[in-house]
Structure 1
Amino acid sequence: MIAWRKKWILLCFFLLLAILFTCRYGFTGNTDIPPDVAQAMSNLPDKLDYNIHVKKILSDKCFSCHGPDSKKQKADLRLDVFNVAYNKTTGSGKKAISPGNIAKSEVAARILSDAAEYVMPTPASHLTLTANEKAIILKWIEQGAEYKPHWAFIAPEKNAPPDIHDVKWIKNEIDRFVLHRLEKEGLYPSAEADKETLIRRVSFDITGLPPTIAEIDAFVNDNTADAYERMIDNYFKSPRYGERMAAHWLDVARFADSHGYLDDKHRDASPWRDWVIEAYNKNLPYDKFITWQLAGDLLPNATKEQILATGFNRNQKQNTEAGIIPEEFRVEYNVDRTNTLGTGILGLTLGCAKCHDHKYDPVSQKDYYSLYAFFNSTFELGSSNYGNYSNMVPGPTLLLTSDNDDKKIDSLNAVIRYLEQNHQPEKSGNPQKSLSQKIIAHLSFDKTEIQKNAKGKPVEAFSNAIQPLQPAFANRIKSAKGILGNALLLDEETSVNFRPYGLGYFERYEPFAISIWLKAPESFKESAVLHHSDSRRYGFQGYDVMLFDNKVGFRIMHAYPHDAISIITNEEIEPGEWYHVAASYDGSSRAAGMRIYINGKPAAVTVEYDNLKKNIRSFPDIHKTSALTGLTFGARVLEKTMKEAALDEFCLFNNTIDETEAEWLYKNAAVTLYRDHSKALQQKPDSLMNARMQLAAVYDSAREAMVMGDLPKPLATHILLRGVYDNYGEEVKPETPAAVLSFPGNFPKNRLGLAKWLFLPEHPLTARVAVNHIWEMYFGRGLVKTSDDFGNQGEMPSHPELLDWLAVDFRENGWNIKQLQKTILMSATYRQQSVITPELQEKDPENILLARSSRYRMPAEMIRDNALAISGLLSAKIGGPSVYPYQPPGLWEALSDKSWRYIYRQSEGEDLFRRSIYTIVKRSSPPPYMLIFDAPDRNFCTVKRPVSSSPLQALALMNDPTFIEASKFVAARIIHEGGETPDDILALGFRLVTGRKPEIPEVKLLNEMYQSEKDAFKKHPGKAKNILAVGSAKMDQPDSTERLIEAAAYTNVIMALLNTDEFITRK
């Protein structure tokens, strides 16, 4: 009996525990809703929308563990897709989400629990849900938990603008959408801004520069109905428009004047920048603007302009350091291109899927590398060429010849073709005699002797039997039995080379030939037999004879492989056997002019590359960290030597050799050739060589630009596990994320196909993102606040119907950028004054509802250009290489371990006052003034700059020589133009700086400051002289101490005005 009673007591105890546990953890059929959550539910809209109300909460608080990233999912539960959320049965027996039933939804129980072991999000995540967020999730479940595709992945539709009660304010369709929202919120639009404000706003928004006084007066006094529209049209016609628009696009395109990374070698990408400016000025439609930049080189009959545009995808950082793994950085370059496509054009954070599935958006790692595959066949080296700044550009490149150059090229090529057709080399009837007339070097490698080097120091050398004064200097040599006597045995320490600039220092229009005996003990993957060229870092500039898996290669190069000609034999040479190798080149700059002879017979060859345009002579350069050597036997720097390989009986000729001569050299190794000086070919230019020299001069003088180009055969692309360059996973083909829009099967799977995909009518993102960028330019905030993220973590559009209407209208009107901008500028929404009332400050401090115009600090470029413009110093020159404005001394030296390589040389004359878009951007040391005003360093794609306010900005405006010099020129201008009294002079200064006429109290305040500064300078006239001495621009000096003091006092007043909110704010 007692035992039974104990069992009963225990049973009741455990039952009570179960009841308590159920009550605490929410397992009952009636989930209790806390009062604060219930209250929040009662305040919610009648109908909740998944995209508007629910998804952001789930994305922020749930998707990191229960989202798209398969590797991070907990409990195999996904809350981002309905079929899993509805059907997943949890440990409690409930579904994760039971549509329409809170009590049967495990999600509801979890978010309401206060038990650390049970509540979601977990305490370890440091995430919590507010009462309002819990209320939204619960009410959404109660209403059926309806999922919807992400708003940005649904194709935009052009719905009719809403009907409005008060139509008097309406100027165009934009205003209907804006006013409809304002009416719902119980707000009213602001009055139209005054004319002075409007023209200043429009001038900065379109050209990035202030209006002139004459332009302001003309607009203010023009009372015709179309005055405002004509003013807009006039600014759109200005070439300054292209510069203003390009300033934004250079951020997107991560444009800079250096490669980045440790060495941060300089580059000249200004031709691409000039193309961007011109494209905007020509109003190139946006679909062409993007297509040309992504795939201009793949267009049928692509023009130079279209190919140049592809420099967009060569703007990424490039590594030129020694010792890097080229493949690692080749991968990084394509990762950068993929991420830039995502951020700048698609508005997605694609880079989050590089190492794993995206945690928030439906973009898997496979999707990422499928997009990456569109760029993976770019014909590009991971280790960029490190040659001279202007002489060698990392390929692929485009030669920027002018129209006049092209005419010269066509004419010279016609002459060369004619001369080649009538220039038949004489067949050698006496090979020994003909060879003796063009031989310039013969090394037997039998023994060394002591000769003096260039410094007069006695060293070992192999005697040159043809020109004894041109020996080959030797160091730590080893010998082996040769084809005749001794041979040179190669190893890591062997060094044998002629003097730099001596024998064998050929240019690409000069014919030459090489003869050597070779024995390779094994198969070598890639090793130099001999070379007169730089290392891989310097593009192998020069020429070489190589072994590639024991196939003989002959290469002549400006920058390998993009600017080079190269042939390789089809057959290998056998290890351990002696072979006679001869290589001949006719000076034509074509692979057809190259020959390889093996054992006296022409070898069948494969042409590897056939595109030689620029010089092949290497020369000393500030970028080179290794000494320039002459013709050398064996490996180059950082290359593997053909260890234990033997070389013998080397001959060098200053003209071609034919088959008969090659055969004679093979069969007569024991016969010594002597120079026949009576008939020796001194390499005097004939008509053909002269024409080739002239052609080379045209090409060598032309600038080069980095562009895109694909390999003949696409590379295989794999998912890179954990994002590691050599950790291959599944192979993938070029595809686009299906969640965005599937890639059409009839499109080419290359960059051109990708560009076409972007501009399909049903594409959900391209037009929206572009419109949002433009809108943000004019309102300081996009219709989607997160301009770089239209995904689940991004903000919802403030006016979704307006965004979609503009996006479709943009597409329907041929992607016309200026028309889109004009539509925005003509709206009443844009024309509002920017004054913020107490009501708007309380209800809409960020101006999301657009009940007023926005006020925001101008970008760095506009502030500087504004000062230069009103001072009269601003240069009107458009385009060209970057310039070097004022900068604190020593910055580059302090931030570089190779400060001797690049010294900041301040520009002079007009270049010192170019627009800021032309300022050099060195990635490791960007312009300090620009950084202070939030310009990016351009290491990565940037679509939205931060806007900060710091004391450094005020200090820069007061101390940067640019602003001091501008102030003194403004002072000189107002003294000359302002009138007779200080009030009139100061009123003009105020108007130049702010764009409006001052009020009487403002003039009084300025006059008080002027008198104060004047009194101070009277006590210290030397300080007045110092302030007027700042800057490089020449100006007439005051002719008396009194006038000098006045000029300095006016200068200080202007400097104070430049530090006001009105000067740096677009309102």
Structure 2
Amino acid sequence: MQFNRDIRPILSAACFRCHGADKNAREANLRLDQPADSGPNVDEDRAITTGKPDESKLFFRITSEDHSERMPPPDEVRQLSDPEIKLLRRWIEEGARYEPHWAFIAPKPLSLPEVDRTSWPINAVDHFVLKRLEQHGLRPSQEADKTTLIRRLYLDLLGIVPRPKEVDEFTADKRPDSFERLVDRLLASPHFGERFARHWMDLARYGDSNGYSGDGSRPWAYRWRDWLIDAINTDLPFDRFTIEQLAGDLLEDRTIQQQIATGFHRNTLTNSEGGSDKEEYRVRQVVDRTNTTASVWLGLTVGCCECHDHKYDPLTQREYYGLFAFFNNAEEADIAAAAAGHPKSAKAQAIVERTERIETHVHVRGNFLDHGEQVQPHTFAALPPLQPRRADILPDRLDLARWLVHPDNPLTSRVATNRHWHWLFGKGIVQTTEDLGTQGSRPTHPQLLDWLAAEFIRHGWSRKQTIRLIVTSATYRQSSRIRLDLLEIDPDNELLARQNRFRVEGEVVRDVLLSSSGLLQTDIGGPSVRPPLPDGAIKGTRFKWPASKPPDSYRRSLYIFTQRTMLYPMMGTFDGADPNVSCSRRSRSNTPLHALVLMNESVVLDSSRALVHRLFGERKLESDRRRLAYAMRLVVGRQPTVAELNELASLYDEQLRLCRDSPTAAAQIAALDGESTAIPTVEFAAWVMVARTLFNLDETITRE
């Protein structure tokens, strides 16, 4: 019996809302989230008599047949099940021992667990995974074939698809370390920084506009994005990565780039409308910076503490405003930041420390006009104490940043490594990547998470080292094929007996179309671009969208201008991140709109026509069947089966017949094409329809 594993989830779901950390919401003066109300039966008001469930008021209340006595009350949606009641009884019988929440306990050094199937593990990750599989009588899946592995790795690490030549070279490479060599090459690619920058941009609520109804543009916002891509490509250690973004302006001998890094917290919304209360919206920005910092680095949801103590986690309102105080003294600044490739007048968004400190008070019920107790900058008591670099002045953002990445902090390294796992497996070891608190998911492999967190620190907070460790494991290399023996035992694949299969993000969907067709413009960094919008997208709005022309319109999707009040339609359809708030994990919908976008979006039509030109530009493709097979390779990364090739040939014949019967429609398709072509119009149109069909395959937008 373990409190954190077996009991805390029950109490958190059914009891803590009324009997938890929030003193203002606490009823009957009973607190069940800590052991203050348990112990020997020396006080008749004690809820728990250890070892004696039948003499414990807690057990009496949860089993009472009297509706006036029953807890939770009968009108509550969340009721205790019979198995949960039995667990609570057993817990009391065994002494009702409490444990601190697992995430607040510092990871301990771990030795690798012993496993029976010693030939399977490639590295330490596999020992932890295999141990759990063996405990459940399961075996891991076989390794995926090399064609699948290279496509998986390209999508995960670069966000684009490999060229057929790259696939051929990898599949022909018989060296035992061919996979590791591929991993190292991709980690060294400048496109790696773009791929993982997009993940961090979700967390940073990146936008190219101010938000609110005015939503004016921010012409220099991209300078922080450029810094981010470079920081990831150069593997800036995560502790330094943290310090520069939160407090780069406070470093001694700070560089322009370190000041640009503070643009992380310039990604808040800004209201410059006439008549708006400047102080109200300044406070909103500080609240956003406070909540975002806690979510991104600590994996804690602290927003409720703006108004009251946390109902579930040991976080108080006063502590919240202690964290708030670190950012309350920051102000926005646009710094001169001319650099190579930028005009002399170039600027960058940054934050700097005010010369005159603003007093911070608790906001009573979250009302910024109703000041309560004055507070100084401080952190949460449930975590190790902050150690300011100077005792004679108040701690500042630099002290906070160093506290976040101090090895004694039990959360930051766990949160970061859990997110890397999420980005590489589709879900984290803790599925709620934004919440490692008591309301979050339990880790499926707690020892693995702790071991990875410790290794992350031991290897100098290296992002690339952590990613390399994960993707070179046998666990990562498994096939994602569904197994019947797992459907009943582990339908959600929590034990990792196979890889996960999932639809890629909207940005990657678009980049896959462009890269497979050869249209992708691969320059790194620079201002945002505005690909054409669907007709009517901004009709009736005040926005202007001067559409970019090729090749800029074919740049990678992370460079698309992010208008906060109007997410680019294709990204919105594929569950793009809301740029107004920090997004730790995206949802993955599956709707008919996806198929409609992949048939009719302008980038699909452009990519389809470009793919046809690419097929007819290959001298070796002397027949339609060879072109069809090569098209399949370009789009989904593998050779078609005989049955698939026959189906594609039938599709082409059908489309060719339809185009001959409808020359006007065929001409419309051909008329959209800007390039001259020797291909007859009806044939060109038929090939475009085949290409559109390939782009519409589930396999095209799925990471196996």
Distance in 2 separating the partners of 1:1028 and 1:778 = 40
Residue type matched to 2:268 in 1?
A: Q
Number of the residue aligned with 1:79: 32
Match of 1:785 among 431, 451, 465: 431
Q: Deviations for 1:589-641, whole angstroms, at most 9, x for unmatched residues?
A: xxxxxxxxxxxxxxxxxxxxxxxxxxxxxxxxxxxxxxxxxxxxxxxxxxxxx
Number of the residue aligned with 2:179: 228
SS of residue in 2 equivalent to 1:705: strand
Residues 1:218 and 2:169 are matched in the alignment: yes
Distance in 1 separating the partners of 2:671 and 2:703 = 31
Distance in 1 separating the partners of 2:650 and 2:604 = 22
Q: CA deviation at 1:87?
A: 7.6
Residues 1:1036 and 2:676 are matched in the alignment: yes
Number of the residue aligned with 1:612: none
Number of the residue aligned with 2:473: 827
SS of residue in 1 equivalent to 2:79: coil
Distance in 2 separating the partners of 1:176 and 1:1025 = 60
Match of 1:124 among 55, 70, 75: 75
Equivalences for residues 557-596 of structure 1 within 5 A:
none
Q: Is the 8 A contact 2:429 2:445 kept in 1?
A: yes
Q: Is the 8 A contact 1:921 1:937 kept in 2?
A: no
Q: Deviations for 1:563-583, whole angstroms, at most 9, x for unmatched residues?
A: xxxxxxxxxxxxxxxxxxxxx
Residue type matched to 1:306 in 2?
A: Q
Distance in 2 separating the partners of 1:968 and 1:844 = 44
Residues 1:776 and 2:422 are matched in the alignment: yes
Number of the residue aligned with 2:338: 401
Number of the residue aligned with 1:681: none
Q: Deviations for 1:765-800, whole angstroms, at most 9, x for unmatched residues?
A: 000000011000110010001000000000111000
Number of the residue aligned with 1:740: 383
Q: CA deviation at 1:143?
A: 0.9
Residues 1:307 and 2:264 are matched in the alignment: no
Equivalences for residues 724-735 of structure 1 within 5 A:
724-735=367-378
Following superposition, which runs of at least 4 residues in structure 1 exceed 3 angstroms of deviation? 85-90, 745-748
Residues 1:64 and 2:17 are matched in the alignment: yes
Residue segments in structure 1 that go unaligned for 5+ positions in a row: 1-47, 380-394, 406-697
Equivalences for residues 517-556 of structure 1 within 5 A:
none
Residue type matched to 1:49 in 2?
A: Q
TM-score under structure 2 length normalisation: 0.97
Q: Deviations for 1:627-657, whole angstroms, at most 9, x for unmatched residues?
A: xxxxxxxxxxxxxxxxxxxxxxxxxxxxxxx
Match of 1:99 among 42, 50, 72: 50
Q: Deviations for 1:346-387, whole angstroms, at most 9, x for unmatched residues?
A: 1000112111000100000001000000000012xxxxxxxx
Residues 1:818 and 2:464 are matched in the alignment: yes
Residues 1:926 and 2:567 are matched in the alignment: yes
- Change in Cα spacing, 1:756 to 1:193, as seen in structure 2 (3 Å) is same
Q: CA deviation at 1:982?
A: 1.8
Residue type matched to 1:911 in 2?
A: D
Distance in 1 separating the partners of 2:75 and 2:208 = 45
Distance in 1 separating the partners of 2:536 and 2:341 = 42
Match of 2:448 among 799, 802, 807: 802
Distance in 1 separating the partners of 2:341 and 2:427 = 47
Q: Is the 8 A contact 1:67 1:359 kept in 2?
A: yes
Residue type matched to 2:584 in 1?
A: V
- Change in Cα spacing, 1:403 to 1:999, as seen in structure 2 (3 Å) is closer
TM-score under structure 1 length normalisation: 0.64
Q: How many residues align?
A: 699
Q: Is the 8 A contact 1:88 1:96 kept in 2?
A: no
Q: CA deviation at 1:752?
A: 0.2
SS of residue in 2 equivalent to 1:709: strand
Match of 1:969 among 597, 610, 613: 610
Number of the residue aligned with 2:692: 1055
Residue type matched to 1:278 in 2?
A: D
Number of the residue aligned with 1:877: 523
Residues 1:997 and 2:642 are matched in the alignment: no
Number of the residue aligned with 1:946: 587
Residue segments in structure 2 that go unaligned for 5+ positions in a row: none
Q: Is the 8 A contact 2:40 2:50 kept in 1?
A: no
Match of 1:909 among 527, 550, 560: 550
Number of the residue aligned with 1:1046: 683
Number of the residue aligned with 2:301: 349
Q: Is the 8 A contact 2:37 2:48 kept in 1?
A: no
Q: Deviations for 1:741-774, whole angstroms, at most 9, x for unmatched residues?
A: 2212555610000011011111100000000110
Q: Is the 8 A contact 1:891 1:925 kept in 2?
A: no
Residue type matched to 2:662 in 1?
A: H
SS of residue in 2 equivalent to 1:339: helix
Residue type matched to 2:593 in 1?
A: L
Residue type matched to 2:395 in 1?
A: K
Q: Deviations for 1:1015-1067, whole angstroms, at most 9, x for unmatched residues?
A: 10010122112123336xx322235xxx2222211211121111111101001
Number of the residue aligned with 1:514: none
Distance in 2 separating the partners of 1:779 and 1:1051 = 34
Q: CA deviation at 1:975?
A: 2.7
Match of 1:339 among 291, 296, 314: 291
Residue type matched to 2:611 in 1?
A: V
Q: Is the 8 A contact 2:122 2:473 kept in 1?
A: yes
Match of 1:1027 among 646, 664, 669: 669
Distance in 1 separating the partners of 2:41 and 2:425 = 45
Number of the residue aligned with 2:242: 290
- Change in Cα spacing, 1:119 to 1:378, as seen in structure 2 (3 Å) is same
SS of residue in 1 equivalent to 2:551: helix
SS of residue in 2 equivalent to 1:707: strand
Equivalences for residues 950-961 of structure 1 within 5 A:
950-961=591-602
Number of the residue aligned with 2:356: 713
Number of the residue aligned with 1:200: 151
Residue type matched to 1:773 in 2?
A: R
Equivalences for residues 342-421 of structure 1 within 5 A:
342-379=294-331, 395-402=332-339
Number of the residue aligned with 1:836: 482
- Change in Cα spacing, 1:222 to 1:765, as seen in structure 2 (3 Å) is same
- Change in Cα spacing, 1:400 to 1:87, as seen in structure 2 (3 Å) is farther
SS of residue in 2 equivalent to 1:374: helix
Distance in 1 separating the partners of 2:335 and 2:105 = 40
Residues 1:937 and 2:612 are matched in the alignment: no
Q: Percent identity?
A: 42
Match of 1:891 among 523, 526, 537: 537
- Change in Cα spacing, 1:378 to 1:89, as seen in structure 2 (3 Å) is farther
Distance in 1 separating the partners of 2:156 and 2:100 = 36
Equivalences for residues 846-861 of structure 1 within 5 A:
846-861=492-507
SS of residue in 1 equivalent to 2:328: coil
Q: Is the 8 A contact 1:87 1:96 kept in 2?
A: no
Q: CA deviation at 1:267?
A: 0.8
Bigger share in helix = 2
Distance in 1 separating the partners of 2:153 and 2:41 = 56
Larger Rg: 1
Q: Deviations for 1:685-714, whole angstroms, at most 9, x for unmatched residues?
A: xxxxxxxxxxxxx9xx41222101011132
Residue type matched to 2:605 in 1?
A: I
Aligned-pair Cα RMSD in Å: 1.5
Q: Is the 8 A contact 2:129 2:475 kept in 1?
A: yes
SS of residue in 1 equivalent to 2:228: helix
Q: Deviations for 1:90-129, whole angstroms, at most 9, x for unmatched residues?
A: 9xx4620111110111110111113221110112332211
Distance in 1 separating the partners of 2:482 and 2:362 = 52
Number of the residue aligned with 1:50: 3
SS of residue in 1 equivalent to 2:348: strand
Number of the residue aligned with 2:278: 326
Match of 2:508 among 862, 877, 890: 862
Q: Is the 8 A contact 1:374 1:750 kept in 2?
A: yes
Distance in 2 separating the partners of 1:815 and 1:919 = 30
Residues 1:1006 and 2:648 are matched in the alignment: yes
Residues 1:263 and 2:214 are matched in the alignment: yes
SS of residue in 2 equivalent to 1:196: helix
Distance in 1 separating the partners of 2:40 and 2:626 = 79
Q: Is the 8 A contact 1:961 1:1030 kept in 2?
A: no
Equivalences for residues 473-492 of structure 1 within 5 A:
none
Q: CA deviation at 1:981?
A: 2.0
Q: Deviations for 1:522-541, whole angstroms, at most 9, x for unmatched residues?
A: xxxxxxxxxxxxxxxxxxxx
Residue type matched to 2:615 in 1?
A: I
